[in-house]
Copies of this chain bind each other. A is one copy, B any other.
Amino acid sequence: MLKLTLEINGQPKTVVAASDESLANVLRENLGLTGTKVGCGEGQCGCCNVILDGKLVRSCVTKMSKVPNGASVETIEGVGTPKDPHPLQVAWMVHGGSQCGFCTPGFIVSAKALLDSNLSPTREEVRDWFQVHRNACRCTGYRQLVDAVMDGAKVLRGEMTIEELSYKLPDDGQIWGGTYPRPSSLAKATGTLDYGADLGIKMPPGTLQLALVQADVSHANILSIDTSAAEKMPGVVKVVTAKDIKGKNRITGLITFPTNLGDGWDRPILCDEKVYQYGDAIAIVCANTLAQAKEAAAKVKVELEKLPAYMSAPAAMAEDAMEIHPGTPNVYYIQKIAKGEETGPIFEKAAMVVEDDFYVGRQPHMPMEPDVGFAFVNHEGKLYIHSKSIGLHLHAAMIAPGLGVEMEKLVMVQNPAGGTFGYKFSPTMEALVGAACLATGKPVFLRYNYHQQMTYTGKRSPFFVNMRLAADNEGKLLGMETDWSVDHGPYSEFGDLLTLRGAQFMGAGYDIPAIRGEGRTVCTNHAWGSAFRAYGSPQSEFASEVLVDELAEKLSMDPLELRYKNVYRPGSTTPTGQEPEVYSLPEMIDILRPKYEAAMAKAKENSTNEVKRGVGISLGVYGCGLDGPDASEVQVELNQDDTVTIYSCWQDHGQGADMGALGTAHQALRPLGLSPEQIRLIMNDTALAPNSGPSGGSRQQVMTGQAIKNGCENLLGAMRKDDGGYRNFSEMMGAGIAVRHDGKWTAPASNCDENGQGNPFSVYMYGVFMAEVAVEVSTGKTSVEKMTLVADIGEINNRLVTDGQLYGGLAQGIGLALTEDFEDIQKHSTLRGAGFPYAKEIPDDLELIYVESPRPAGPFGAAGVGELPLTSPHAAIINAIYNACRARITVLPARPEKVLAALQS
């Protein structure tokens, strides 16, 4: 222990801490300064940046023994407060710098340190600073952050007032379509928003800290578990194993397709008989402190019989492979697609046929905030589980039978989430904290470290795709044949649905009259497959978008023009045989064409022998909604003070659920003339708000947006007076009219049949991507110099949100294309190891062009947003590499050595 007196944000503070404790933990746990976030905990993300004696440091790797007595520490709380924010904090808000917001305090503190030393940095200097100091952001694509720093500096230099910088409501009072900062932005920018780990610190005294006993092999039989030594360790209250779990001890994906050969009850809460993947939880140690829990976890003895580990779909499909789940074949689901005529004859006759194999790997989500949650039993005997869940009602149903809890006794709450990008469409630790809480009767808290986040949460499922395209001599597409195998890891939840996505999105965007193909879901021992932004489409569209380029080459046609010829126009149908709801792709390509031509010219001009430059194009299409007649429900209430409350479970990954709900409600309630502040949001607690469905499939703006619109209309209808005016609360009470109204909506869509044919989505998003790249010939290292996205996401609710979604998705596309991977469980289990893109890996030059075609089935014409930008940006990049240097990459990521090998072959 050390006793230090530090000057924390200008105030002297006495601190007692272990000398090997991190400054971050001391700031957070001892001093309660939870504005400083701990992300990776390994000095690779900068979420924990503070200024120590004038120097920017990553406090998670700064031991207290290195902090001098008397040192000054500036944290986000010292930069500014909600009442008195710093110009950088205001700039962050108005530029949409915070999406999930978890990296925000670290970035703002970092930017403050930069401006303390250089008040007039260039954009490139800002980017260099963030790169050198490893400030990582997974949501924004960085551009807005640089914008914010430039404007913050302007204010500090006196060139702009804080008023000029701040958001101003338009004269007409409308926020729909504008840049109103999301409601959570002030709290995010000031570090005052409590994420799960912050709430964990603020749990009541006596809350138990959990540590997992996890498998360090990928496949094994469990012979014995001995907890006796661990139970005797100091501070240990209980070691929970499968036998302590009262229910089925299994998590189910619920809606298993009828032809699925598994029953969907394959994922243990705590492993009992077998280990199915690395990291699988075998026991939970519940102790008074985390250190005690960890020490005791190391004392649990688990005897394992190692089994062959099937680490890819082909390996698990091998004839001699054993059944990972005995009784269920490793290939447990088949999805066919059959559209139009048989393709055999078409391919035989076709003038042009191209074929290739493609692989998009297990992209890790890499949120800045590792997984975290807690549980307690409330005063009514209900089990409350708080987590990053983006599907609260869904997860309740998925875990309740496994835990042995009645649904009525289970409440799920989403904490503010520091990024999920889809991994939280699956329960991760929900059942674990629930089990520990039930077994001990105490509040419990669990946080994964980054290794656990990487190794023991779901990943994007790799697709092995073979694709053939047939076309005539003019490039008109005649038919497509596909074969795809989905490596879904050991747990089946939503694996069949994901396999269906292959049928829906291979060849999407093109009018292909005849399609035949088959996909399959394969059980393996690698990381279990979970949702990831654009779910299924990056794997599916990578194949068709690269193969279309191969076809263009064969035809000696320009790839843009080949696409222009084949995109949806009236009369076209999607791969599932559906008529698109709008036909904006031709217009979008027309808009892009001059930019494309200029880019091609510039690439040629700037190519040298050492650095080759090229341009690539891709189309991206994705549906908004879960398959078929997806539905959402909210409630809308007029309050006593004549404000309105919207009750919804529009869960937030960081995408801006609050702004989505507020913008939609504000527009729907325009007749009342409410200010945005007069609309309150009660969100993401199954005890308080109805089932709005999970936040996946870019469905919320459409489904829950429509439900909000409906609820608001119902309220307005009840409030409307004969003279056309509206009753206030007391008039409603006086007239005996209900003030709380349901809002409901069901999508006009249908499920696909066994041939993958149907109208699964009522609204789609469309994009045309253009990548401009530079390839260093000697190393194969590829840099993306610019990305352009022409996007049709319908009418826009909030520009800050949509810009943020699109920039951020493009950045993830660059990572997917070039660096990101989770194939090697050890090597790829850190941000840097897994190829996380830092500021300089993402170009400052990201151009967005919106085509706002109103969607008939969208509220106020809006579509979804979040998944479009990650449908196929990687394909554009891969096509650009080929355009630059004729190196054709079909297996991602295109790391330098792979590009170099392709160059050399």
Closest residue of chain B to A287, judged by CB? B288
* Residues on B with beta carbons closer than 8 Å to the beta carbon of A413: 3, 14
Closest residue of chain B to A8, judged by CB? B192
Min CB distance A190 to B, Å, is 8
User: With A13-B194, A84-B81 as given contacts, are A32 and B202 in contact (CB-CB < 8 Å)?
Assistant: yes
Chain A 9-25: CB-based contact to B (< 8 A → 1; otherwise 0) = 11111111111010000
* Residues on B with beta carbons closer than 8 Å to the beta carbon of A66: none
Cα of A19 to Cα of B376 in the assembled complex, Å: 13
The B-contacting residues of A in range 186-201, CB under 8 angstroms, are: 187, 192, 194, 199, 201
* Residues on B with beta carbons closer than 8 Å to the beta carbon of A721: none
Q: Do residues A194 and B14 form an inter-chain contact, with CB atoms below 8 A?
A: yes
Q: Do residues A234 and B234 form an inter-chain contact, with CB atoms below 8 A?
A: no
Closest residue of chain B to A65, judged by CB? B379
The segment from A289-297, A494-502, A757-765, A874-882 that touches chain B is A289-297
Cα of A199 to Cα of B31 in the assembled complex, Å: 8
Cα of A204 to Cα of B292 in the assembled complex, Å: 13
A82 interface contact, C-beta 8 A: yes
* Residues on B with beta carbons closer than 8 Å to the beta carbon of A15: 202
Q: Do residues B443 and A235 form an inter-chain contact, with CB atoms below 8 A?
A: no
Cα of A201 to Cα of B29 in the assembled complex, Å: 9
Q: Which of B16, B21, B34, B204 contacts A1 (CB 8 A)?
A: B204
Q: Which of B2, B65, B82, B199 contacts A14 (CB 8 A)?
A: B199
Chain A 229-260: CB-based contact to B (< 8 A → 1; otherwise 0) = 00000110100000000000000000000000
Cα of A305 to Cα of B291 in the assembled complex, Å: 44
Q: Do residues B81 and A83 form an inter-chain contact, with CB atoms below 8 A?
A: yes
* Residues on B with beta carbons closer than 8 Å to the beta carbon of A206: 235, 288-289, 291-292
* Residues on B with beta carbons closer than 8 Å to the beta carbon of A201: 32
Q: Do residues A187 and B11 form an inter-chain contact, with CB atoms below 8 A?
A: yes
A205 interface contact, C-beta 8 A: yes
Chain A count of residues within 8 A CB distance of the other chain = 60
Q: Do residues B81 and A3 form an inter-chain contact, with CB atoms below 8 A?
A: no
A621 interface contact, C-beta 8 A: no
Cα of A541 to Cα of B5 in the assembled complex, Å: 43
* Residues on B with beta carbons closer than 8 Å to the beta carbon of A192: 11
Q: Do residues A384 and B202 form an inter-chain contact, with CB atoms below 8 A?
A: no
A457 interface contact, C-beta 8 A: no
Q: Do residues A16 and B376 form an inter-chain contact, with CB atoms below 8 A?
A: yes
Q: Do residues A289 and B199 form an inter-chain contact, with CB atoms below 8 A?
A: no
Of A32, A192, A411, the most chain B CB neighbours within 10 A belong to A32
Q: A1-B384, A206-B235 are in contact. List 7 more A-B contacts (CB 8 A).
A: A5-B682, A17-B204, A29-B205, A31-B32, A32-B202, A81-B84, A205-B289
Q: Would you mind naming 28 contact pairs between A and B with Cβ atoms under 8 Å apart?
A: A1-B377, A1-B384, A1-B443, A3-B376, A3-B386, A3-B687, A10-B82, A10-B83, A11-B192, A12-B187, A13-B194, A16-B374, A16-B376, A17-B204, A18-B204, A19-B379, A21-B204, A30-B203, A31-B202, A32-B33, A32-B34, A32-B201, A81-B83, A84-B84, A205-B289, A205-B291, A206-B235, A235-B288
